[in-house]
Structure 1
Amino acid sequence: MLGEALRVAVPIGLVTSQMRWFRNVQELVPQPYLDEVFHVPQAQAFWKGNWTHWDDKITTPPGLYLYSILVNKIYKFDSDSSDLTAYDLRWTNVLLLYLMLLALTVLSLLTSKDAPRERFLQREYCLVAFPLFFFFSGLYYTDLFSAFTVICAYIFWQAANQAEGFPKIMFQLLHLLSGLLSLASRQTNIFWVAVYLGGLQAVAAIKKDTRIHDPAIADAYFEDLPITIISLVTSALNTIPKLLLDLWPHLCLLGSFGAFVFWNGGVVLGDKTNHVATIHLTQMLYIWPFIVFFSWPAMLPQFANLRSLMHRRPRLWVVVATILPMTAIVHYNTIIHQFLLADNRHYAFYAFKILRSASWTWYALTPVYAVCAWLSIQALGSRPSFTGAPQTASSQGRRLSTSSGGRDSTASESDVNRMSFLIIWLVSTALSLVTAPLVEPRYFIVPWLMWRLHVPDIAEVIDEHQEAGLKDKSGMAQVEKVLTTLVKGSLYIEFAWCMLINFVTCRLFLFNGFAWPQEPGLVQRFMW
C-alpha cells in the first residue's frame, strides 16, 4: 500500500515542484541572469534571421538555440507575436526535462526488459530530479539539451545493436545524426557519442569472435585492470577490418569533430583566451565526491551484505598505490582558474575557499577521494538489470574468462558490468574533464549520468539475500536485515535526497540574494 502511494506521489511531487520552480524564476528573475545574458540575445538574433551574428563570449555551438527556435516556431504558429522573450526560451528547457524523462524511459525499455514492473520509472524519476537537471530546467542554459542529445545517441546506438539488416543501418544512421546534433550542443560530447559508445561497440564486436580477459567488476582485482586493457588491445589488433565496419558511425563523428577543430582553430568557439585546454588531472579526483554526494542512496545496496562488502575491501598495497598518485596529482597539478575565485555566486567558489584555508586540506582529502572512488566503482559491481553492452543474440549467455587463479564468473555477459565497461567509462570521463582548467559541476553531468545509468537495480538480489538470512540469528545478520529493508527503498531515498537539495538550492537562488559593493542595487544569486 505504501509502495503504491509512493509511486503516485513521486511523479506528482516532481511535476508540481518543477512547475513552481519555473514560475518563481519568472516572477522573481524575469530578466536574463548570468550566462543567460549571452544565450538569450544570441537565440533572439537567430529568431530574427540574423544568422551571421555570434557573441564571442559563447564557447559552445548553437544547437540549443536552434532547438528553442524550432519549438517556438511550432508553439507560436498561430500567434502574431514576433518577439522571443527570456520566458519563451526558458520554457523550452522545461520541455527538455520531460523529453529527458521520455528518452531515459525508452533507453530503459531497450536495456532493462526484465526489470520488475513495480520499479518501472523509479530510477528515471530520480535521474530527472538530479539537482543540476532540475535547477537548470528553470533557466536558459545548455546542459539539459546537451545531456538529452547524448541519451538520444545512446538510444539509437543500442537499437542498432539489437537490429539486423536494413533496420540496423537505419539506426546506425540515426545514431550518427543524433551524435552530430549532440556535438552541435557541446564539443565534449564527442567523448560520449563517439569514444564511449564506440568503445562499448568495439568490446562487443571483439567478444563475438574472441574470448578475452574481462571479469565482472565484482570479481575483479586491481591487477585485472591492466590485464584487461592488454587483452582488449591485442584482440582488437586482430580484428581491425571488422571493427572499422562496426564503428563507421563513430569514426564519422570523430572525423566531423576533427574537421570542426581544424576549421575553428580550436575546440571552443569564443572566449578562447579564458578557455585554454590544459592538463588538469585533479578533475578526475573531484568527480568521485561529486558522485557520492549526489548519489549515495544508489550505493546503499552494496551495504545489504556487509560481509561481502568487507571481503571486497581493497588490499593495503592497492590503497597505497592509489593514494600516493592522488597525492602527487594534488601537489603538482592542482589548478585554480581565475573565474573560480572571482565569482562568489557559485558553490564551487566556497568549496575551494575552504580548501585554500590551509595547505594541508588539499592533501587531507586524498583518502576521501580514494574512498569515494572505491564506493562508486563497487556500486557498479552488483548484479544489474541494466547493462551498457549491446544486447545481441550472439552475446547472450556468453561466459568470459577471468584472471588466473580459478576465479570464474557464472554471470552472463548481459548480467554484469565488467572491467571493460569501467575502463571505457574512465577513459571517456578523463578525456572530457582533464583538459578543462575550470572546475565546474556542470562538466560532471554526463560522466555522472553514464555512471548512474549503469548502477544496477538489485531488488531481486536483495530479496534473495533477505530470504537466505532468515535462519541466521547473528548480530551481523540482524544489522543486514535492517539495511536490507532500507535498501529496498533506496530509489525513494535517492529521489527524496535530490528533491531536498533542489529545495535548498532553489530557495537560496530565489530568496537569498545579495549585492556586490561595486554593483549596488543589483541582486546576485547563488547557483551551481
Structure 2
Amino acid sequence: MKVNSRGDSQGHYNGSYQTLVLTFSFIFGLANLENRPNLRTSNLRFQLGAKQISDPNSRFDRERDISAGCQADLKTRTLGSIEREMGRLSIAVVVLLWSLPISILFNYIVPDAYMDEIFHLPQAQKYCNGDFRSWDPMITTLPGLYYLSLAYVGFIYPVMWFAGIASSYGELCTTLILRSMNCALAVICSLLFYCILRHMRPGVDERRATLCTLVVTLYPIHWFFTFLYYTDVASTAAVLAMYLASLKGSYWFSAVFGALAILVRQTNVVWLFFVASTGAISYAESLYEKDNIQYGDCTLSIERYTKFIVRGKSTGLKLRKRKVGGSMNTTTISPTGTYTPSSTSSSSCYGLLCEFWGISMKLWSFKWEVLVAYAPFLVLFAAFGTFVVWNGSLVVGAKEAHTASFHLVQLPYFGLVSAAAMAPVHFNLGQAVILYRAFQKDKFYYLVLGSLALAAGFLSVHFFSIAHPYLLADNRHYTFYIWRKVIHAHWLMKYLLVPLYVYSWFSIFNILGKSRKTIWVLLYFFSCAAVLVPAPLIEFRYYNIPFFFLVLHSPIDDSWKWFIMGIQFVIVNIFTIMMFLFRPFHWEHEQGTQRFLW
C-alpha cells in the first residue's frame, strides 16, 4: 500500500512522531537527572543551621554564614550545570560537523544501496509505505531498525511536508534520508556516552569528559558505519540508553530500551543480562550501604548477621565474626559499583571467592527487593526465550549461513583489536612494568594463570579457528586481507600471535580491575564470550558494544593518551573512507562497483 496524499499520511506520521519525541525526551531526561540539586543535603544543612541559631547573641552571624554558604552552593551547582550543558552542546555540534559533510559526500559518490543495504533499505521502504507483512528472508535481525526509521522519518516529515518537498510519508524513505538517521543516532550515542561517563566518574572535569567522548565517537568501526544503513549505530545507542537508565535506577525504562536493543539485534540480550546482573549487584550493595556493611574481609557485624539469618530464614551459612587476616582486601562500595582496594591480597583466588560469597549473601538477603526492581528484565528474558523456541533459532533469516558455532578464537581477536585501538593505554612501557610487578607480587598465581591462558590460546587457534566461506571469498572486507596476509601469512603465524593475545587480555583485566570488582570483570568477559564465540564469521562490527563498555570502565586519566588515540582513529578513518570512496574495483563474475569496508 502506498500513501499518496497528505491526509492519508497524517495518521501514519503522528504515531511515529510521538514515539520519537517520547524516546528523545526520556534520553535527555536521563541526562538531566544529574543536574537536580540534592534536596536532602540542602534541607539537612538548613536544619543544622536552625539548631545552631538558638543563641540570640550569634544568630545574626550564623544566619549570614548560612546564607553565604547556600548562595555559594547554589552558584557552584549552577556553574556545574552550565558546564555540563555546554559539554553536551559542544559534543553534539562537533559530531554533527564531521558527520554531515562526510555523509553528503558519501551519498554523492555512493548513492545506491551497497552490501547489506540491499536488504535493509528495501525492507525499510516497505514499512514506510505501510507494508508490514512482506519480509526479506535474507535479513537476520528483527525489525527494530525499521521501526526507528519510521520514527525518524516521522520526526522530519512536518518540515518536509510544510516545505513541499514531500507530499507523503513514503516519499521521504530514500537512501539519503534513511542513511542520515545514523548521523542522528551517532550524536545520541556520543551524548549517552558522555552522560554515562559523568555519572560513573563525577570527579572527571568537563573538558576531559568531552575529550574522551569525542575520541570514542571516532572509533573507526563505529565511525565508518555511521554512513551506511546498518544496525550497528542503532544497536549501540539502544544498549547505551539501557545502561544509563539502569545506572540512574530507572529499571522499567532500562528494560524498554533493552527491548529496543533486542529488536535491533538479537545478541543484545547478552548485554541486557550484563546490565541486569551488574545493576542487581549494585542495587543490593546500595541497600547494604544504609547499614554501613563492609564485606570485602568476609565479615559481617553480629547484629547484621542476626538480621540476615532472620531475613534468610536460616540458610545454614556460618559467617566469621572477625577478620580472617590482615592481608585481605577491604572494599569501599559505591552505588555505581566502583571500589577501591585498601591493600593487596595475598591470595587472589581466595579474594575472588570471598567477593563472590559476600555478593551472594547480599543478593539473597535482599532477594525480594531485587526481584521486584528487576522484574521487567525477567519479563524480557522470558519473552525472548519464548521467541527463540518458537523461531527455532536466534536469527530470523538466512539461518543456514548464520548457525551458532564454537568460535573460541573470537575472544583473542577481540582482545587484540581492542587493545590495539587503545594502544597508548595498553602498549606502553609503563603498562608492561605494572603487569610485571603484579607478576612479581604473586609469582605462583600468575604463573599458573599465564600458563592456562597460553594453553587456552594455543588450543583456540588450533582447534577452534573457523574459516567462514564469506571470509575466504569476499575480498571487500579488511578481515579478508588480515586473515590471508597476517594470520595465515605462515603456518606458524597464528601461534606466534598467541602471546600477544594473552598480553592484551591481561592488560585489559588489569585496567578494568583498577575501578571494577572482580565479579564485574568476569561478567564482562563472559558477556563478550557469549556474544562473540557463537559467531562463525569474523566481523569487527560485533566488537563495537564490548569496546564501548571497555572504554567506559577504563580509568584513563592521562589526556595525552586520549589525544594520541584520537589521532590514531583519525588516521585510520581517513584511510578507510578514502579507500571506500575513491578506490573502487570490479569483479569479473559480477556486475557493479565493489568497495573496501570493514
Deviations, residues 166-191 of structure 1 (Å, cap 9, x unaligned) = xxxxx222111111111111101111
Query: Match of 1:312, SS?
Result: helix
- Residue of structure 2 aligned with 1:368, choices 475, 479, 500: 500
Give the superposed CA RMSD: 2.7
Cα offset, 1:378, TM superposition:
2.0
Q: Tell me the residue number matched to 1:202.
A: 280
Say whether 1:177 aligns with 2:248.
no
Query: Match of 1:127, SS?
Result: helix
Cα offset, 1:230, TM superposition:
5.8
Q: Tell me the residue number matched to 1:348.
A: 479
Residue 358 and residue 153 in structure 1: after superposition, are their counterparts in 2 closer, same or farther (change >3 A)? same
TM-score, normalising length from structure 1? 0.79
Equivalent pair of 2:280/2:370 in contact (CA under 8 Å): yes
- The whole-number CA distance in structure 2 between the counterparts of 1:306 and 1:363 is 21
The count of residues paired between Structure 1 and Structure 2 equals 448
Equivalent pair of 1:176/1:252 in contact (CA under 8 Å): no
Of all paired residues, the percent bearing the same amino acid is 27
Cα offset, 1:198, TM superposition:
1.6
What aligned pairs does 1:270-289 form with structure 2 within 5 A after superposition? 270-289=397-416
Q: Tell me the residue number matched to 2:394.
A: 267
Say whether 1:80 aligns with 2:163.
no
- Residue of structure 2 aligned with 1:425, choices 524, 547, 565: 524
TM-score, normalising length from structure 2? 0.70
What aligned pairs does 1:246-395 form with structure 2 within 5 A after superposition? 246-299=373-426, 308-313=434-439, 315-354=446-485, 355-382=487-514
Cα offset, 1:298, TM superposition:
4.0
- The whole-number CA distance in structure 1 between the counterparts of 2:425 and 2:90 is 20
Query: Match of 2:107, SS?
Result: helix
Q: Tell me the residue number matched to 1:401.
A: none
- The whole-number CA distance in structure 2 between the counterparts of 1:122 and 1:80 is 42
Question: Could you tell which deviates more after superposition, 506-515 or 321-330?
Answer: 321-330
Question: Could you tell which deviates more after superposition, 58-67 or 37-46?
Answer: 58-67
Equivalent pair of 2:513/2:521 in contact (CA under 8 Å): no
Equivalent pair of 1:284/1:430 in contact (CA under 8 Å): yes
Deviations, residues 201-236 of structure 1 (Å, cap 9, x unaligned) = 232244344725687698567635566456645665
Deviations, residues 330-384 of structure 1 (Å, cap 9, x unaligned) = 22211111111111101111111132343222211111100111122222234xx
Instruction: State the AA in 1 paired with 2:270.
Output: F
Residue 73 and residue 241 in structure 1: after superposition, are their counterparts in 2 closer, same or farther (change >3 A)? closer
Cα offset, 1:238, TM superposition:
5.8
Equivalent pair of 2:425/2:431 in contact (CA under 8 Å): no
What aligned pairs does 1:101-250 form with structure 2 within 5 A after superposition? 101-160=190-249, 171-193=250-272, 195-207=273-285, 208-209=287-288, 211-212=295-296, 219=344, 223=349, 224-225=351-352, 228-229=355-356, 232-233=359-360, 236=363, 240-250=367-377
Question: Could you tell which deviates more after superposition, 253-262 or 31-40?
Answer: 253-262
Cα offset, 1:66, TM superposition:
1.1
- The whole-number CA distance in structure 2 between the counterparts of 1:225 and 1:325 is 21
Residue 125 and residue 431 in structure 1: after superposition, are their counterparts in 2 closer, same or farther (change >3 A)? same
- The whole-number CA distance in structure 2 between the counterparts of 1:310 and 1:10 is 38
Q: Tell me the residue number matched to 1:505.
A: 576
What aligned pairs does 1:444-523 form with structure 2 within 5 A after superposition? 444-458=543-557, 487-520=558-591, 522-523=592-593
- The whole-number CA distance in structure 2 between the counterparts of 1:64 and 1:235 is 39
Q: Tell me the residue number matched to 1:409.
A: none
Residue 500 and residue 247 in structure 1: after superposition, are their counterparts in 2 closer, same or farther (change >3 A)? same
- The whole-number CA distance in structure 2 between the counterparts of 1:45 and 1:505 is 32
Residue 306 and residue 187 in structure 1: after superposition, are their counterparts in 2 closer, same or farther (change >3 A)? closer
Query: Match of 2:593, SS?
Result: strand
- The whole-number CA distance in structure 1 between the counterparts of 2:197 and 2:459 is 40
Deviations, residues 137-186 of structure 1 (Å, cap 9, x unaligned) = 111110000000001111111111xxxxxxxxxx2221111111111111
Equivalent pair of 1:323/1:367 in contact (CA under 8 Å): yes
- Residue of structure 2 aligned with 1:42, choices 100, 105, 123: 123
Which ranges in structure 2 are unaligned for 5 or more consecutive residues? 1-87, 299-328, 332-338
Residue 368 and residue 227 in structure 1: after superposition, are their counterparts in 2 closer, same or farther (change >3 A)? farther
Q: Tell me the residue number matched to 1:24.
A: 105
Q: Tell me the residue number matched to 1:524.
A: 594
Instruction: State the AA in 1 paired with 2:577.
Output: C
Q: Tell me the residue number matched to 2:141.
A: 60
Equivalent pair of 1:11/1:125 in contact (CA under 8 Å): no
Residue 227 and residue 283 in structure 1: after superposition, are their counterparts in 2 closer, same or farther (change >3 A)? farther
Instruction: State the AA in 2 paired with 1:381.
Output: G
Equivalent pair of 2:471/2:537 in contact (CA under 8 Å): yes
Instruction: State the AA in 2 paired with 1:317.
Output: V
Residue 236 and residue 8 in structure 1: after superposition, are their counterparts in 2 closer, same or farther (change >3 A)? closer
- The whole-number CA distance in structure 2 between the counterparts of 1:330 and 1:71 is 43
Query: Match of 1:121, SS?
Result: helix
Question: Could you tell which deviates more after superposition, 123-132 or 33-42?
Answer: 123-132
Cα offset, 1:418, TM superposition:
1.6
Query: Match of 2:123, SS?
Result: helix
Query: Match of 1:446, SS?
Result: helix
- The whole-number CA distance in structure 2 between the counterparts of 1:125 and 1:23 is 21
Equivalent pair of 2:92/2:190 in contact (CA under 8 Å): no
Equivalent pair of 2:247/2:279 in contact (CA under 8 Å): no
Deviations, residues 239-266 of structure 1 (Å, cap 9, x unaligned) = 5444423432321221121122123221
- The whole-number CA distance in structure 2 between the counterparts of 1:123 and 1:15 is 17
Cα offset, 1:111, TM superposition:
2.2
- The whole-number CA distance in structure 1 between the counterparts of 2:257 and 2:180 is 22
- The whole-number CA distance in structure 2 between the counterparts of 1:88 and 1:451 is 32
- The whole-number CA distance in structure 2 between the counterparts of 1:127 and 1:63 is 25
Query: Match of 1:256, SS?
Result: helix
- Residue of structure 2 aligned with 1:439, choices 525, 538, 542: 538
Deviations, residues 85-143 of structure 1 (Å, cap 9, x unaligned) = 11110011111111111222222332222212331311111121111121111111100
Q: Higher relative CO (CA 8 A, sep ≥ 6), structure 1 or 2? A: 1
Which ranges in structure 1 are unaligned for 5 or more consecutive residues? 1-6, 161-170, 383-415, 459-486
